[in-house]
Structure 1
Amino acid sequence: MYSRVMSTSTADRLIESTRELLWERGYVGTSPKAIQRHAGAGQGSMYHHFTGKPDLALAAIRRTAGELWATAEGVLNSPGTPYERIAAYLLRERDVLRGCPVGRLTMDPDVIASDELRAPVDEMLDRLRERLAGIVEEGQEQGQFAPSLDAEEIAATIVATVQGGYVLARASGSPAAFDTGVRGLLALLAPLR
């Protein structure tokens, strides 16, 4: 029992360390030695739990995508009108200058080149677009959004605004660019009167 608890703890430390390093350095910049050092785990522990760096990176990417999805779902399922829920998603607190831990992976050539590593990123973004499209459709049914809007296009625009906002904020060194993009999109989506 004791060794099982310790081994779960080591695996979690390895996954959390990999998540952090992937966000900071990307896949290429995250070496197994750096992961082990960050996690306070030895090489034997790493290879006891994972077959190698790709296996560990996949576990880390899946966990990150899962947590981001849970956060988005929590906001999008909150009470309020469809517009208010979309606004809450767009305005939720983020570490804008650090970027999106999932979105940044799309700029990593090694992640994009691997169907396996890219899959959880793509799946999470697809689920988010589908959920947002459903909320837009709900708003159309309630007369809040114009019936002529294409819900899937609006959902893609929302995701693109968030991801592009991260890029603009990081490039300028200021969250103002992110905030400006969000305010502009919310003005365009303002409910019909």
Structure 2
Amino acid sequence: MRTSERLIESTRELLWERGYVGTSPKAILERAGAGQGSMYHHFRGKPDLAAAAIRRTAEEMRAAAEGVLGGPGTPYERIEAYLLRERDVLRGCPLGRLTMDPDVVADEELRAPVDETIGWLRGRLAGIVEEGKARGDFGPGLDGDEIAAAVVATVQGGYVLARASGSPAAFDAGVRGLLSLLASPPDSPPASRTAR
């Protein structure tokens, strides 16, 4: 692997583990096994390298999500597959955790890939909900944008609950709860919703 790739991959891991503030150039170089001047040979500095790492993480997350959301099955089954896909729940979301980092939120270049990826995911999910409504799988009263926001919020909030409790059980409970709401017959009132 080229030095620039090792630097990007090391930065991605450190951002996930420590956040932007906790990721020092020294730690990046040590993790990458790179010499002291190599970061500045390939990148303008830590912000430039972090932006490349965040973009790479965003691209991989989009590809992984699309692999499930664009796969076979009904709209419900595709949303279910996205919610149930394998995740390292206790590590949290490598992009979502960056929204808690004030330096990332304050820097347009660092924040943009995070915002764009979450926006893309919400749009993709909303489209699937609308597809389900057209097929009669979901009730006509459901709002695709609102359901998409609920799906993303369940995943991101589930990471927080799991990390706080030290157990993936809280994440799993949130996912099961959302799926039971989505699985209710299209014409049933909220009080009578049951899981599939």
TM-score (norm 2): 0.93
- Following superposition, the deviation at residue 141 of structure 1 comes to 0.3
Residue type at the aligned position of 2:148: A
CA distance in 2 between counterparts of 1:192 and 1:127 reads 28
1:132, CA displacement in angstroms?
Answer: 0.1
Partner of 1:20: 13
Which consecutive unaligned segments of at least 5 residues does structure 2 have?
A: 187-196
Structure 1's unaligned 5+ residue stretches are 1-7
The one of 41, 49, 59 aligned to 2:42 = 49
Give 1:108's match in structure 2, choosing from 101, 106, 110: 101
- 1:36–1:20: structure 2 CA closer, same or farther, 3 Å change rule? same
Q: CA RMSD in A?
A: 0.9
- Once the two structures are superposed, what CA deviation does each residue of 1:139-177 show, in whole Å capped at 9, x if it has no partner? 000000011111000000000000000000000000000
Shift of 1:44: 1.6
Q: What stretches of structure 1 move > 6 A for 4+ residues in a row? A: none
In the alignment, what sits opposite 1:165?
Answer: 158
In structure 2, how many angstroms separate the alpha carbons of the residues matched to 1:37 and 1:186? 43
Structure having the larger proportion of residues in helix: 1
- What's the CA shift for 1:191? 5.0
Residue 43 of structure 1 and its aligned partner are, at CA, apart by 2.1
Please, what TM-score do these two structures have when normalized by structure 1? Answer: 0.95
Matches of 1:77 and 1:167, distance apart in 2: 27
Out of 136, 140, 153, the position equivalent to 2:146 is 153
Question: Which residue number corresponds to residue 118 of structure 2?
Answer: 125
Identity %: 78
CA distance in 2, matches of 1:45, 1:21: 17
Matched, 1:92 2:85: yes
Distance 1:61 1:87 in 2: 27
